[in-house]
Amino acid sequence: MLNKDFLKEVLVEDKRLLPLNTVNWVNVPLFDELSVIKLWPMVRSDEQFAKCFPSKLPKNRVPDRDYFFNILNTFQPDYLRTIIEHANK
């Protein structure tokens, strides 16, 4: 996720980096229902969540899976817990 374009956005305070001690780490099972490709369009419009991701991603690319789910768990832990429980059923 960290590239020169994202760093430029961080330096002008359009985007932000979280201190590692504030991130709620999570291990998400590898289920089709829990793919970044399916969830990214649903959550990227959340303003607080989107501040931690680049404005533009390369064509046909999504954020790194671990990074995505750790940030999602930091800002929306109840939502993530709900979709993991649903996927387990």
So what's the pLDDT on residue 1? 62
Which band of pLDDT confidence, cut at 50, 70 and 90, is reported for residue 2?
confident
> Lowest-pLDDT range, 1-10, 27-36, 71-80?
1-10
- Cα 86 to Cα 82: distance, rounded to the nearest angstrom: 6
Contacts of 64-73 with CB under 8 Å at 24 or more apart are: 64/1, 64/36, 65/28, 65/36, 67/1, 68/36, 68/39, 68/40, 69/26, 69/28, 69/34, 69/36, 70/23, 70/24, 70/25, 70/26, 71/18, 71/23, 72/39, 72/43, 73/24, 73/25, 73/26
Domain layout of the chain by residue ranges: 4-88
Question: Which of 1-5, 23-27, 53-57 is most confident?
Answer: 23-27
So what's the pLDDT on residue 8? 92
- List pLDDT tens digits, range 17-48: 999 999 999 999 999 889 999 999 999 899 99
